[in-house]
Amino acid sequence: MRPCVQLAAGGLLLTSSSLVLGGTTTKSVTGSVQITGYTALAISTSSNLSFGKVTIPSSGTGSVIATADASPTFTPSGLSEICAGGACTGAAFAVTGQASSSVALTLPASVTLASGSNSLTVTLSMDQAATASLSSTGSLTVHVGGTLVVPAGKAQGSYSGSFTLTGIYN
């Protein structure tokens, strides 16, 4: 705006459109940055889940339950299972990371096994809770088992599939 001149009683008064008061209009504050370094989380496969050899039922449905623990048991129902020579094994995973840390573990509910165009489903289970703690040395073993269901008349063959165990620090 333009300054204007006004007459006041006995003299001139100059005015303008801006007004400056004492002090500053800029303020600042200092923040901080922090980080906590952790040992990288690692998961490796120690052994895979294997149900060995099973006979396909001629009628009805058969199943095999493999427990999720260090010494799994395999319980067949409605079919025969052959676990000779260590053919039946439970899955085991070694989890390593920051000592005494909490880890969230995720396992899919099931895995599909395929043999050509034929498939079977295994419902999975693990011996750890969804939230587990690494030991004071930074390790944890997770055992995985499951239930295999085999319907009558299923095609013969070698069925296989894979699943992913996921871990993340809490």
The string of pLDDT tens digits covering residues 79-101 is 988 887 778 999 999 999 999 99
Question: What Cα–Cα distance (Å) separates residue 141 from each residue in 8, 113, 127, 167, 169?
Answer: 92, 24, 9, 12, 16
Of all residues in the chain, the percent with pLDDT exceeding 90 is: 75
For 96-112, write each residue's pLDDT tens digit. 999 999 999 999 999 99
Residue, of 26 and 33, whose pLDDT is higher: 33
What global pTM score does this model have?
0.79
Do 55 and 79 touch, CB atoms closer than 8 A? yes
Query: Among candidates 163, 164, 106, which has minimal Cα distance to 132?
Result: 106
For 98-152, write each residue's pLDDT tens digit. 999 999 999 999 999 999 999 999 999 999 999 999 999 999 999 999 999 999 9
Residue, of 11 and 149, whose pLDDT is higher: 149
For 42-169, CATH number out of 1.20.120, 2.20.70, 2.60.40, 3.30.460 equals: 2.60.40
Question: What Cα–Cα distance (Å) separates residue 107 from each residue in 67, 112, 129, 143?
Answer: 15, 14, 11, 11
Ordered by start, the domain boundaries in the chain are 42-169
Query: Among candidates 113, 112, 121, which has minimal Cα distance to 160?
Result: 113
